[in-house]
Amino acid sequence: MGRTSGERALWVTGGGSGMGRAVALAAAGAGWRVVVSGRRRDAVEQSAALVRERGGAALAVPVDVRDGADVRAAHARIVEQWGAVHDVVLSAGLNTPDRSWADQDVDELAAIVDTNLTGVARVVDAVLPGMREHGGGRVVVVSSLAAWRFSPGSGVAYMASKTAVGALCASLNDQEGAHGITACHLCPGDVDTDFLELRPEVPDADRRAGMLAPADVGRAVRFVLESPPRVRIDELVITPVGPR
């Protein structure tokens, strides 16, 4: 393992773009070797290359968090290469432009819940035994402001899935704290990423200029990751300045 041996292994889902990529870059060479996962192989390989350019160690491991076998196989590959994962950041997410009861499709609702909630649970389930063996680890779930307060514009399925993931984080803190494991329910407001393309009305450049940058969230996640082991950050809300 050479120079990486003192570094913690961080697994980032949704790491091929947006906030996930920003997290990978914020952690790169700062105490973490980073596993980048997402469905698009080219995107995760690009993120891994950017991490290496910054002097960090990276593994690109494509995965679909909606596929349990795929998650288990990806986890096995990581463990084989780098040993048990120390920390995870769950940034993979899905939404749809059809956001109201009047126009949503229940199959699409299920896909959103499967990605935003069950997908998080699949990855956490895979890494927990290794974290317990390490005597601790951090789980950071990139949730949403829509989980922190009622945000009808974000959609029925999205709000439901992100709110539920907050409960998942609380249950981890309750049940796994004794093993030194902490979960942070991270709730960003608007962030200028590709995710905005999924809105019914895609924001223009002027509106995007008033949003958070992915790096702002990368910095916040790094703050959570590098907090002393005695510190648990249950929830973190991060929003752009100004009226909204």
Ligand X SMILES: NC(=O)c1ccc[n+]([C@@H]2O[C@H](COP(=O)([O-])OP(=O)(O)OC[C@H]3O[C@@H](n4cnc5c(N)ncnc54)[C@H](OP(=O)(O)O)[C@@H]3O)[C@@H](O)[C@H]2O)c1
- Closest approach, Cβ 93 to ligand X, in A, equals 2
Residue 35: C-alpha distances to residues 24, 155, 226 (Å):
8, 31, 17
- Applying the rule CB under 6 A, the residues between 205 and 244 that interact with ligand X are none
Euclidean distance between CA atoms 232 and 244, whole angstroms? 29
- Applying the rule CB under 6 A, the residues between 141 and 180 that interact with ligand X are 142, 144
Phi, psi (rounded to 5 degrees) for 70: -65, -40
- Applying the rule CB under 6 A, the residues between 185 and 204 that interact with ligand X are 188, 190-191, 193-196
Element spanning 46, H or E: helix 41-53
- Applying the rule CB under 6 A, the residues between 89 and 108 that interact with ligand X are 91-94
- Closest approach, Cβ 60 to ligand X, in A, equals 11
Euclidean distance between CA atoms 54 and 125, whole angstroms? 31
Reduced to 3 states (helix: H, G, I; strand: E, B; else coil), residue 204 is coil
Element spanning 167, H or E: helix 156-176
Count of residues in contact with ligand X, rule CB under 6 A: 30
Q: Which residue has the tokens 């906030």?
A: 19
Query: Mask: binding to ligand X, 20-49, rule CB under 6 A, as x and -?
Result: x-----------------xxx--x------
Residues that bind ligand X (CB under 6 A): 13-14, 16-20, 38-40, 43, 63-66, 91-94, 115, 119, 142, 144, 188, 190-191, 193-196
